[in-house]
Each structure stands twice: as C-alpha cells, then as structure tokens.
Amino acid sequence: MTARPLPPELSQLELNRATPLIIVDVDEVLAMFMRGFERFVGRHGLEMRITRFALFENVYRPGEALPIEPELGKTLFEAFFDTDGEDIDPAAGAAHALDSLSSQASIVILTNAPGKSRDARSRWLARHGFPYPMVMNSGPKGAAVRALADLTEGPVAFVDDLLPNLESAALAAPAAHRFQMVADERLRPLAFSDRERHRRIDHWPEMRHAIAEALNIVRAPG
Ligand SMILES: [Mg+2]
C-alpha cells in the first residue's frame, strides 16, 4: 500500500517540544456535524432517520423506505461544504475544556474535511473558540498523529469519533493516549467502539479531566 503524503501544513507547525500535545478531530468531537447536515438535507426536501453509524444511509426522501442512493449522498456532502459548512453547532463544553487544557498543553486540530473547506473551517473554529492550528488530513489519521507526536517529547492525546482513525493512530503512534468521543447523542449507541483499546468518553467536562490525568497536567482552574 502506498503511503499517502502527509498534510503539508505539518512541516510548518512549531510546537514546544517540552509540552504535552492534544490532537483533536472536529466533526462529532468539536462540531455537531450530523445535526448541521440534517438541517442542510432538510432544506433540500430530505429527512434524516438516524439508525446507523453512517451518513448517507440515514438520509431518506420523505415516505420512502430505502435511503437515498450513495451518489446523491456524495453530491449532497460536497454541496454542504460548498454552501453550509459553517452552519454547524459547536459541541457543548468543548471550547471551555480545550481552553482550560491549553494553558499547559499544545492543541492541534486534525480534520478530514474536504480541502476546499479549509477557509470556512478555519473561520468556524475561530468563531467558536478554537484558536488552534488546523491540519487537514485525508484518509486514516495514524501517520499524521505520529508526525505530530514526533514534534514533542511530552505525552500525547488523540481524540476522534471514528474507530478506524483511533485504530490507525494506535498502530502508528502507540504511545499516544486515545480517546473516542461521539458528540451527537443519537449516534452514541450506534458508534463502533473498542473500549478496551480506546477510552470512550462522550462529554467534554469528563473528557477534559481524563485528558488532564493522562497527560499529567495539573488541573487548570475554571
Ligand atoms: Mg470526526
């Protein structure tokens, strides 16, 4: 298998080598992506019935028993990022948790959003209280997590909603502490997890404490 090239912005990142590092996904971790996409498809006369840990397979034409065809799903996904990619709510407590951790840890956002959404995504992050460097990845995240982890001698935490990304990080950067978060409460019971391998925490106040503990960060005030 040919290795994918690493995101170019990785080479421009300068992190304090002595500081712990927290690597955080966006969609379903900092951002309520499913809800935003649901509003978007609703404006296009479609509805979501969330019965699977999937995206397009939960989108239906009203009254129909089968979900929309995958091709239409992909078209809608692309269109969402063209026009509505900033219309996503932040996950409750995420900004406060990261802000409090950021006094003693570097924070890097690692997202797999389409490349064309880079500016919109940066604006969204800034507007919702996530003023941290963003790396746009595609495909499994392990190689990027490893490259980021190599920028510090401190401990590393990685937070994502998707089991394949957590598995990929476990293989490429086994020393990193891995946490799974699923921000949308409707997706929580449907998400694929391996709680023995990756700690599962779905709320930011609890996640904040778990990360602080794992990274040996003295609890920040507030
Ligand atoms: Mg995600």
Cα–Cα distance measured from residue 24 to residue 169, given in angstroms and rounded to the nearest whole number = 12
Q: DSSP class of residue 60?
A: E
The predicted structure's pLDDT at residue 118: 95
Residue 216, SS3 per DSSP: coil
Question: Could you report the per-residue pLDDT of 189-204, keeping only the tens digit for each?
Answer: 999 999 999 999 999 9
64 Cα: distance to centroid of ligand 1 (angstroms): 28
Please state the rounded mean pLDDT for residues 146-162. 97
Any idea how long the chain is? 222
* The CATH number of the domain covering residues in 8-30+91-214: 3.40.50.1000
Instruction: Kindly write down the DSSP assignment for every residue of 61-109, as one continuous string.
Output: -TT-SSBPPHHHHHHHHHHHHHHTTT--EEPTTHHHHHHHHTTTSEEEE
Contact 27, 182 (CB under 8 A): no
Cα–Cα distance measured from residue 22 to residue 94, given in angstroms and rounded to the nearest whole number = 13
183 Cα: distance to centroid of ligand 1 (angstroms): 9
**pLDDT(166) > 90:** yes
221 Cα: distance to centroid of ligand 1 (angstroms): 28
29 Cα: distance to centroid of ligand 1 (angstroms): 6
Please state the rounded mean pLDDT for residues 83-107. 97
Here the tokens at position 86 are 């900033």
134 Cα: distance to centroid of ligand 1 (angstroms): 14
107 Cα: distance to centroid of ligand 1 (angstroms): 16
172 Cα: distance to centroid of ligand 1 (angstroms): 18
Domain boundaries along the sequence of the chain: 8-30+91-214, 34-83
Please state the rounded mean pLDDT for residues 2-8. 78
Question: Could you report the per-residue pLDDT of 7-42, keeping only the tens digit for each?
Answer: 888 888 989 999 999 999 999 999 999 999 999 999
160 Cα: distance to centroid of ligand 1 (angstroms): 6
The predicted structure's pLDDT at residue 75: 96
182 Cα: distance to centroid of ligand 1 (angstroms): 8
Cα–Cα distance measured from residue 127 to residue 45, given in angstroms and rounded to the nearest whole number = 29
In the block, tokens 């502490």 appear at 177
pTM of the model: 0.95
The predicted structure's pLDDT at residue 220: 53
161 Cα: distance to centroid of ligand 1 (angstroms): 5
181 Cα: distance to centroid of ligand 1 (angstroms): 9
Helices 70-83 and 33-43 cross at an angle (nearest 10°) of: 100
More confident residue, 108 or 115: 108
Instruction: Kindly write down the DSSP assignment for every residue of 149-203, as one continuous string.
Output: HTT-SS-EEEEES-HHHHHHHHHH-TTSEEEE---STTTGGGS---TTTSEE--S
104 Cα: distance to centroid of ligand 1 (angstroms): 24
